[in-house]
Structure 1
């Protein structure tokens, strides 16, 4: 038996596609066969499996489990919940890896798989290897067993271990994503006053799309914070591994700003530590880490990329603009938005200041949102290469850790190929509005030279 995956679903750090189109039940079965084969050939025999709240996630989970067991691994089903709960299962249960069926922050029609093997992200060449095994029908055979494990209470209990006092009035927006029940259980045990939005899981996402990196998706939370006069608000993506926040005035804190607040207590406890942040992050973050005596490392965007680099360096903390925050100190090294929420509450408490003042204390910058420009999948990487070549020939100050990040006296701009969509990702940050205008003009000129236009 052989199987061929649609090439576009094999992403840099997970598998993701449109269900019924590029991603099918047969794909889920083949992922199970291939992943189980890899686990067995590495000496493993037991895998944890979870799934998010999308309408088609149970179907894909069942096919995945069938594939895993047909290749001879035992499966521990942890059921419906956020991706970090599955990661927690892989860290605490006696298993050799895990798979979360999730579309993360993608549209409701999308779904996919995030994989962990022996404590490490299963990404890049590993994901492509599943396609090689499937095309060759090179799968192990067997008959694994299936058991169930209810770990929600244990997971929430572990989240609470990160709490360090402080009583606040907080809004929580689960966006009808998979984190809702865990947020209910967590806030029921935290002191303070907690106002919850959209904690019922609904894979059609009837209230707003669960992606806290898009400000329009935070409108309900901003309204709640204003109406109830709350201290701040927290938002979560569809599978609970991205955090967003708004302060008491309704201003959004992006992932790098949240990380900037988290670094102060961390570096006070572990002076001189290394903090990893992605190439989209603000210069203000890197400057703050240096001012607090830490060492910063700028790295490639992507939860698997950051996790891997963090582990390689032994860094206690890492994060991305997108709201993935990773805790190696006092936690397991994976990205967990619920744990990030608890640690953010801790950081605010230890600072002795309101979140709004903490945010105001960081160096002011003027930045664009993260823009995405749709281009054909086969074209996106070539555009980045063309821009990099022109900039290099012009003698520009360029960092090529992930795409091209160009530094000027005005600030910096970034162009990279998206790892999750047929798109280019753009961002610019200036020291003032006029500088930002010049940076954006530079982006537009480079795109135009490659036959691409950014929509206004």
Structure 2
């Protein structure tokens, strides 16, 4: 297999791009690789658009290698006759918007990011006006790269430098002003509120100054706003325990009304209430579902497979329909799009990781847009002396939640995993207190109804690695262990490492 194919990670390119004395990994994504892949994207896009003078925007998060990758891409793309807009430090969602915003109107966009991965990594996420490339599109581009059948041109493309993040911030500010629609203070609807941001030294620091301060919020106490590709304070990741503890402590210490945390490239986010309580995963889904279901009553909310029973009940009590689908944010988004195309209203697709995409926003997974929707509601609640936590006061949260990642020691791990899951169905049928859930779109989800368990579990194969992933939640302390003990007996006969 050609090396370039190994860089594909779903819909992204990912690889080790930086080496220093603190790591021993060899570089797998070089500037030369980036040039080749950018050339492949330009060739694929030119063929797709069937026109001359293609325009591509380039942006990056704070990673160390971002600027080198942008410069390398500018050189090769302009040599191929492509016009380039250099957006500099940007967010992944804003790079898609460069294909939509009138003053940009790009045919395609490349964002250099590796999301929340360690600083030695970087990657490429590519967009057209239709959104993020699908896996098959990226495979087609890599096929072009391997064949080296690139476009040629007699002209040299133009390079334009633009401050995309400023233009994108103005879109968010205008949306929030219109959403709150304050008759007393239209321009500064967050006057009197303290809202702090933790960007984790990624690309999200703009949100404090260019959005919140413009809207009148006091952002004193915000932290790690300056871009630093080595992420010296904590990993920019709402799923990271250390990161969430950091923004929670800052929110309490600064007596803030709300704390906001973004991942590196701002396609994910989470919030913290005034008491320092984290609102992410199921709780975050509940908050945005509550907001969306006010706007679209009785509509369908699509989530990934590991959401809780308490969330399903919460959505149902609001009059919504919970459609639990597969893991993988593109799977969730594409399922919501499919439902809409079939006539079922589905305004929201959201994964427990924090990837949230709304139909009203091009089904773009955009952490800043998600937070803007929540902030509008927060400002309206603030007028009534309430806060965002009041929206989810009826959400039932599990007492325990665990995830186990179990290594599969077989070369054909996916077939082996399917065999295990098929056998597990028989095992489940023999237990009178266990019942397989109806909505199994991947792996097997089982409700464990005994008085000592009161739990559910989901066993599935990892999207990319030779792993079985086991999620268990229980309404009882010790309930997860009871379930795991039974499963361990079953799984012990297979070639696995716990």
Asked whether the two chains share a fold, i.e. TM above 0.5, the reply is: yes
Residues in 1 aligned to 2:78 and 2:322: alpha-carbon distance in whole angstroms: 43
Question: Which residue in the other structure is 1:119 paired with?
Answer: 130
Query: Are the equivalent residues in 1 in contact too, given 2:108–2:126 (CA < 8 A)?
Result: yes
Query: Are the equivalent residues in 2 in contact too, given 1:447–1:453 (CA < 8 A)?
Result: no
Question: Which residue in the other structure is 2:185 paired with?
Answer: none
Residues in 2 aligned to 1:378 and 1:113: alpha-carbon distance in whole angstroms: 29
Query: Are the equivalent residues in 2 in contact too, given 1:306–1:319 (CA < 8 A)?
Result: yes
Deviations 1:17-60 (A, max 9, x none): 11152222222112112111211111162222211110011122
Query: Are the equivalent residues in 1 in contact too, given 2:40–2:144 (CA < 8 A)?
Result: yes
Question: Which residue in the other structure is 2:436 paired with?
Answer: 397
In structure 1, which of residues 90, 94, 99 is the aligned counterpart of residue 99 of structure 2?
Answer: 90
Question: Which residue in the other structure is 1:364 paired with?
Answer: 397
SS in 1 for 2:289: helix
343-352 vs 375-384, which moves further: 375-384
Deviation of 1:156 (Å) = 0.7
Question: Which residue in the other structure is 2:217 paired with?
Answer: 192
Deviation of 1:287 (Å) = 2.1
- Indicate whether 1:408 and 2:448 are aligned: yes
Query: Are the equivalent residues in 2 in contact too, given 1:169–1:231 (CA < 8 A)?
Result: yes
Question: Which residue in the other structure is 1:63 paired with?
Answer: 72
Instruction: Give ranges in structure 1 of 5+ residues lacking alignment.
Output: none
In structure 2, which of residues 328, 335, 338 is the aligned counterpart of residue 302 of structure 1?
Answer: 328
Residues in 2 aligned to 1:431 and 1:339: alpha-carbon distance in whole angstroms: 33
Question: Which residue in the other structure is 1:348 paired with?
Answer: 378
Residues in 2 aligned to 1:23 and 1:376: alpha-carbon distance in whole angstroms: 28
Deviation of 1:122 (Å) = 0.8
- Indicate whether 1:316 and 2:328 are aligned: no
In structure 1, which of residues 15, 18, 24 is the aligned counterpart of residue 16 of structure 2?
Answer: 18
In structure 1, which of residues 38, 41, 54 is the aligned counterpart of residue 44 of structure 2?
Answer: 38
Question: Which residue in the other structure is 2:362 paired with?
Answer: 332
Count the aligned residue pairs: 451
Question: Which residue in the other structure is 2:421 paired with?
Answer: 388
- Indicate whether 1:183 and 2:183 are aligned: no
In structure 2, relative to structure 1, the CA distance for the partners of 1:312 and 1:96 (3 Å cut) is: farther
Deviation of 1:236 (Å) = 0.9
Which structure is larger by alpha-carbon Rg, 1 or 2? 2
Residues in 2 aligned to 1:432 and 1:359: alpha-carbon distance in whole angstroms: 21
In structure 2, relative to structure 1, the CA distance for the partners of 1:179 and 1:371 (3 Å cut) is: farther
CA RMSD, 1 decimal: 2.7
Deviation of 1:179 (Å) = 1.3
Residues in 2 aligned to 1:373 and 1:168: alpha-carbon distance in whole angstroms: 45
SS in 1 for 2:228: coil
Query: Are the equivalent residues in 1 in contact too, given 2:304–2:352 (CA < 8 A)?
Result: yes
- Indicate whether 1:169 and 2:194 are aligned: yes
In structure 2, relative to structure 1, the CA distance for the partners of 1:378 and 1:129 (3 Å cut) is: farther
Instruction: Give ranges in structure 2 of 5+ residues lacking alignment.
Output: 18-25, 181-188, 341-345, 430-434
